Structure 1
């Protein structure tokens, strides 16, 4: 715990909106850009929407198809186009937003020849943080299990996320997938999704091979949230804080990791990113760090959809490294 700080300090440092005038400006950007992307993808028949990966009505994802595949009648034609999947996990302090505001980066990846998935999950207080982590695990298992039918490789999965989504990316990277799959009781992965392809029986479930992570403006030690009103809907327990703080645990899966944040963010968000970077480097990870100028906690992630931005170029380099 951070000592000698009062409640007002915690509220300010863990409220990203304290650095900007109006958060709604950026939320509207997410909405407008994502709506336009989805409408265009529907028109082009390059998106499969509301694929249900779990039993809850919230456990759905949208999958955007690579332009190269869509333009070739979804045929691989012996090329490597469409063999890689970028999965985006949205932020919102695990209590706001959804997949519907989170597809703004899809076209950049589609044009580069990749699949792009956006995960939806239940929000607090409807779900605990532990349940949210489990839902994202189910989504990745569903994607890996159905990878061959969908056209990408189960061992070519990359993750990106913003804020709470960055936290969830690190939680996915710290998952022992063999142990996780062995503990599924038959109800973990939905067996009757609303969309093809159908999920496999649990005996055939595959673990995702995460090849790279881009974590933007994340929070990796959630203990400080106990001292803020952010915890009101989360109702975090001490056990959850320990289990769901990536900084408290080693990361067993080795892959390149990008840690990024905007220059206009609170000192605590910057400190947490630097601590996560240092920990991963000590564990032998290939790390790329970026403090992106003229960006805040909310608009920095929009760079993921800009092909000329530093952030997108780093993710592309990560995905194109064999």
Structure 2
């Protein structure tokens, strides 16, 4: 049974899930992320691969100067499945590259250009293709580690579920979700859903809380301390859902963070989120 908080609708759902409304200064975060990412691209080489006919379907690879691992960390951006671009999120790569870990940012088509199901299948397709062609990359990749923020946190979690991640079972080493959404039905009667065009059946199909996991790889679910109660309960309940299936899952709050600064925290050396992600690849990371 889902808790009543995850079954809210109307104005209550808007108050709980409209993250930009709760953080009016959110454009400042977007501008800073873009600027920091441009600076990183001046220091590290970026290679755009696995393009399709859709200009938003690709993966950006960033390679460290000295490689210490054959594992790749891949980030999936947020934007409520309808905004943002991978160019703004390269800045997250810096602490990984400094540790010698290859890093990638995944691009996917946005709603309403595609349906939510098509969007998720695009993410699935890029990951499967990356895993199949990993030995043809500039450096060999033997394991993928996923992270995502907000909508990207949902997509990262979804790729570990039945019906979505079967072809990736041998490839995924860990999943980190920052402010993820795992039950989508509360969004059905909010403005968020206008471009998504979800209905009850598609929301169920795309909700990790309604699906079983595929592997026992470690999960971490992180929410900003200052986020709404609904975002906290989404991760709380999904964590229980995973652990009930025997899937290891850690859950904590990023101290002092809102829905957007939780991503800055992830890129901050010494943060709990970053340390967790690094240790999944290099267990001896300080």
Question: Could you state the TM-score of these two structures normalised by the residue count of structure 2?
Answer: 0.91
Aligned match for 1:98, one of 85, 108, 122: 85
Aligned match for 1:36, one of 32, 36, 39: 39
Q: Tell me, yes or no, if the aligned pair for 1:84 and 1:115 is still in contact at 8 Å.
A: yes
Change (3 A) 1:6 1:310: closer
Matched, 1:318 2:280: yes
Gaps of 5+ in 1: 70-80, 181-205
Matched, 1:275 2:237: yes
Change (3 A) 1:175 1:102: farther
Work out which of the two has the higher radius of gyration on C-alpha atoms and give 1 or 2. 1
- Once the two structures are overlaid, the 10-residue window that deviates more, 117-126 or 135-144, is 135-144
Aligned match for 1:286, one of 248, 255, 258: 248
Aligned to 2:111: 124
| Secondary structure at the counterpart of residue 284 of structure 1 | coil
Gaps of 5+ in 2: none
Deviations 1:56-107 (A, max 9, x none): 22211210012204xxxxxxxxxxx240100000000000101111111111
Q: State the Cα distance separating 1:177 from its structure 2 match.
A: 6.6
Aligned match for 1:54, one of 49, 52, 55: 52
Aligned match for 1:303, one of 257, 265, 269: 265
1:73-84 matches, cutoff 5 A: 81-84=68-71
Q: State the Cα distance separating 1:303 from its structure 2 match.
A: 2.0
1:19-30 matches, cutoff 5 A: 19-30=22-33
The 2-side partners of 1:300 and 1:33 are apart by 16
1:204-283 matches, cutoff 5 A: 209-283=171-245
| Secondary structure at the counterpart of residue 173 of structure 1 | coil
Change (3 A) 1:172 1:5: closer
Aligned to 1:13: 16
Aligned to 1:66: 64
Aligned residues: 280
Question: Could you state the TM-score of these two structures normalised by the residue count of structure 1?
Answer: 0.82
The 2-side partners of 1:178 and 1:269 are apart by 24
Aligned to 1:152: 140
The 2-side partners of 1:6 and 1:142 are apart by 38
Q: State the Cα distance separating 1:240 from its structure 2 match.
A: 1.1
Q: State the Cα distance separating 1:29 from its structure 2 match.
A: 1.7
| Secondary structure at the counterpart of residue 91 of structure 2 | coil
Matched, 1:162 2:124: no
Q: State the Cα distance separating 1:321 from its structure 2 match.
A: 4.4
Q: Tell me, yes or no, if the aligned pair for 2:69 and 2:101 is still in contact at 8 Å.
A: yes
| Secondary structure at the counterpart of residue 33 of structure 2 | helix
Change (3 A) 1:48 1:119: same
